[in-house]
Amino acid sequence: MSPAKVLSKMNNQDFLQIKTISEQIFPYLVKLRRKFHQYPETAFEEFKTSQTIAQELNKIGLKVKTGIAKTGVVGLLKADRKGKTVALRADMDALPIWEQTDLSYASKNKGKMHACGHDAHISCVIGAAIILSRLKSTLKGNVKFIFQPSEEVSPGGAIQMIKQGVLTSPKVDSIFALHCDSNIPFGKVGTKNGIMMAFADDFDITIIGKGGHGARPQDGIDAIAVASQVINALQTIVSRKIDPLKSAVVSIGIIQGGQARNIICDKVILKGTARSLEKKVAEMLPALIKQIVSGIAKSCRADFKFEYQKGYPVLINDCKSTDVARNVIRNLYNQSSIYEIEKPVMGGEDFARFLERAPGTMMRLGIRNEKIGAIYPWHHPKFKIDENALKIGSAVLAGVVLQSLQNK
C-alpha cells in the first residue's frame, strides 16, 4: 500500500460530524436508493431519475441545473469563503436486464435493472451533498455534484457534459467518484494508484456472402461459415499477436444472421469489444482485427464491412487524490477499512474522461455480504448490495471533498 502523502488538516471533530450525519440520514438514503432501484431507466432515458435528483438537490438548497447532455443534472454548493472547487460524480443509467432478485423493491420497469449499482452511487452523492450542506460553515470553496447519464453505453454521457461546461464556471480543481464492488466486503473501500480500468472500444463486423439453398452450398457463399472462422481467428490476436506481458481482450458479444435452417445465410453481423491497458496496444487492435477479417473473407470469396469505435479511455487515478481518499477512510473508520486493489480490471468506465481533465480518483465501495446474497458481479440479474454501504459511501465522499478543500 502506498504510504499516506497527505497530512490531515481535518480535526477529529470534522470526521465525527461526517459520521454522525451519515448515520442520521442513512434511513433516508435507503428509501431514496430503493426508489431509484424500482424505477430504473437506461442510457439517455433517465428523465424521472434526473427529476427526482433535481428535487432532492433543491431541497438541500443547492443551485441546480438540469438537461445537461439531455438528462444530466449538476448541483452547486457555494461556501461563504472562497477556495477551490471539488466535484463528485455519480452515474445514473440502468441496464437492459430482467431483474431476478427476491427484493420487495425490485424493478417495476420490465426488462430494466440497476444491476451495476448506479442507484447506490446516486444516493451516496446525494448523501454527501446533505452532509456537506450541513457543514457549509466549515467549507472553503465550492462543491459540484455531477449526475451523469449513459455510463453504460459508449460514447457515454461524460464527454457531452464536459462539452457543455460541467467542469467550468467555476473550474473544477479535482473530482472524485465511487463504484460498488461485490468483490470487496462491506465495511471496506477500495483504492488504487494509477491505472484502474481499461481502454474500452467497440467494433462491428459485417460478413457479406451469397444466399442460396441449404442443399446446394456450392451455389452460395455461407456467411455463417465465414463468420465462424473469423470468431475463432480473432482469439489469436491476444494469444499470438500481443506481447504476453501486456493485457488485451477481444470478445464477440453479438452474432446476428440467418433466416431459415435450409437457406445459405448471405449476411452475418458480429458486434464485439476490444480492451487494453496501454495506448500502444489499443492503437494496434483495430488493424489486427481488420487484417484477420479481410484475410478470411478473401479466402472464402466473401466481402465484409468493418467499423471500429473508440470508446472510453484508460482510467488513471491521481496518486495524491488517492492518498486523500485513503487518509479520509482511515480517519473516518480505520486502517483496515482501506482495501488496496492490486490489479486493474479490463472493464471500461466513463469517469476516465473526467480524470483526463482534472485530477481525482475513483474508489470502490465494498457491498459484499454473503448472508444476504450480495455476492453477484456487475450486470448480473441477481445483483444486490448491502445497503449499509450507503452511509459509508456518503461519508467518504463528503470527507474527500472537505479534505481536498482544506488542502493547499
CA distance 51 to 46: 8
Domain 12-196+314-406, CATH number (from 3.40.50.1970, 3.40.50.10160, 3.30.1330.40, 3.40.630.10): 3.40.630.10
The active-site residue, picked from 46, 56, 151, 312, is 312
Q: For residue 141, what are the contacts with CB-CB under 8 A and spacing of at least 6?
A: 79, 81, 82, 83, 84, 85, 86, 405
| pLDDT value of position 10 | 72
CA distance 157 to 380: 23
Active site residue 312: yes
Which amino acid, one-letter code, is at 219? D
Q: Sign (positive/negative) of CA torsion 341, 344, 349, 352?
A: positive
The four Cα atoms 81, 82, 87, 92 give a dihedral, to 10 degrees, of 60
Active site residue 308: no
Q: Supply the DSSP symbol for 261.
A: T
In the block, residue with C-alpha cell 477512510 = 329
| pLDDT by position in tens, the chain (length 408) | 444 444 456 778 999 999 999 999 999 999 999 999 999 999 999 999 999 999 999 999 999 999 999 999 999 999 989 999 999 999 999 999 999 999 999 999 999 999 999 999 999 999 999 999 999 999 999 999 999 999 999 999 999 999 999 999 999 999 999 999 999 999 999 999 999 999 999 999 999 999 999 999 999 999 999 999 999 999 999 999 999 999 999 999 999 999 999 999 999 999 999 999 999 999 999 999 999 999 999 999 999 999 999 999 999 999 999 999 999 999 999 999 999 999 999 999 999 999 999 999 999 999 999 999 999 999 999 999 999 999 999 999 999 999 999 886
Q: Which helix (H) or strand (E) holds 365?
A: strand 360-368
SS3 content of the chain, % helix, strand, coil (to 5): 40, 30, 35
| pLDDT value of position 4 | 46
Specify whether domain 199-312 bears CATH 3.40.50.460: no
Q: How many CB atoms lie within 10 A of CB 313?
A: 20
> Which CA distances in Å does 232 have to 207, 227, 251, 269?
14, 9, 10, 15
| pLDDT value of position 11 | 78
Residue extents of the structural domains in the chain: 12-196+314-406, 199-312
The active-site residue, picked from 46, 99, 151, 387, is 387
